[in-house]
Structure formats: C-alpha cells, structure tokens
Amino acid sequence: MNTYAQKLIKNDKTNQKTKVREFIFSYVKNCNKVVGLAGPNINKYIDFCKSKGLNSVTIYEKDMDVCKTQIISLKHQNIKIINGDINSTIVNPGTFYDLDYCCTMINVHDKISKFRSNYAITLALRPFGKQKTISQFFKSMEESLCHEKEVNLPIKHTVYTTVTGNKYICAVYRDSSAMCCITKIN
C-alpha cells in the first residue's frame, strides 16, 4: 500500500522525467518521425510524440512479453512495433531517435556513436555518477569537451561545448534512480 508521502514522491519523480522530456523534445527540429523505446505506457508515449509533431512512430522492444503487452494495449493505428534491439535501426534524416535506455554507458558505449544528430539518450547514472557518465559519453561520440556551463532555467541542465563547436545538453533527474538525458542541440 502506498502512503500519501510515497505517492507525492512518485509523482514528483514522474514530473521530473516529464519536465526533462518536454525540455529535450523542445530541441527536436525538422523531424516528423520518431524511433523510440516506449516504456511502460505505450499509448501515453505515442500521445506525447504526436503532440510534438512526430506523427510516424516506430517502437522497439527487445522483450517479447513486453512487446505482446504493448501490442494488446495499443490504442493507435499505423504504429510500427518491432520486437528487437533499437540499436539495429538504420539512422535516417528526418527521424528523431528517443533512446530511453535507462542503463549505464557501459551497456551502450559501443552502440551510440552512429547517432550523430536528432536523438536523446537516457542513461542511468548509478553507479558511476554524472561526470564519469558524461566523460564516457563524449569518448563514445569521439568528441572532446572544451567548455561546460550550468543553467537553471527552464530546468536545471548543463550545456557542453566540444572543441569542434558541437553543443550538447544534459539534464539530470531522479526516477527509480539517478538518470540523465543527453541531446545534441546543433
């Protein structure tokens, strides 16, 4: 049984993730398609994507039982659901990749370098913390940092600039554990 305090904490964590997702998706430009990992509520995820102008939705799910559940609960038409690994997708222009991995960089460091623009990567910070995760992320992307700036509005985030002039945003939030969402903004 959840106490009132537990519900408030859960809602606050959900609100943190929602605020981060809203912020990150505000940088999606020139895309009308999304390839993503829907998470526990596929219909809510699709509604969110469509509200951002991403009208063509492809969902990947590696776990067959979860995939079946998603298909059964799906209330939308013309949604592509693939039982497989999102890392096998072919990167196309005009498509946004929502890589809500929720795992550490160790699990995906060798898979993310093909995503060079139009993506958001969500990672668990446990057990390494933000600095080590960010360091490994930029190493995987073959980028070197030259500047970082903490910004508090509209949500707390860090803007990273690389030696090549690329800019990235990283927003940290708490879900079931400490998480971060990273996207390239130029």
Q: What is the CATH number of the domain that holds 59?
A: 3.40.50
Rounded to 5°, angle at Cα 36 from 100 and 103: 20
Residuewise pLDDT in 10s, the chain (186 residues)? 454 334 434 454 568 888 999 999 999 999 999 999 988 789 999 999 999 999 999 999 999 999 999 999 999 999 999 999 999 999 999 999 999 998 999 889 899 999 999 999 999 998 899 999 999 999 999 999 999 999 999 999 999 999 999 999 999 998 778 999 999 998
Q: Is the pTM higher than 0.85?
A: yes
Full domain range(s) for residue 135: 4-184
Our measurement of the distance from residue 154's CA atom to the centroid of its chain's CA atoms, rounded to an integer in Å, reads 18
Q: In whole angstroms, how far apart are CA 71 and each of 35, 36, 59, 74, 89?
A: 16, 15, 10, 5, 20
Q: Which pLDDT belongs to residue 9? A: 43
pLDDT of residue 39: 81
> Helices marked H in 52-185 — which ranges?
64-73, 105-108, 129-140
Q: Are 176 and 182 in contact (CB under 8 A)?
A: no
Token look-up 């497989």 returns 84
Token pair of 77 as six digits: 């038409």
Structural domains of the chain, count: 1
Question: What's the N-to-C CA distance of the chain in angstroms?
Answer: 46
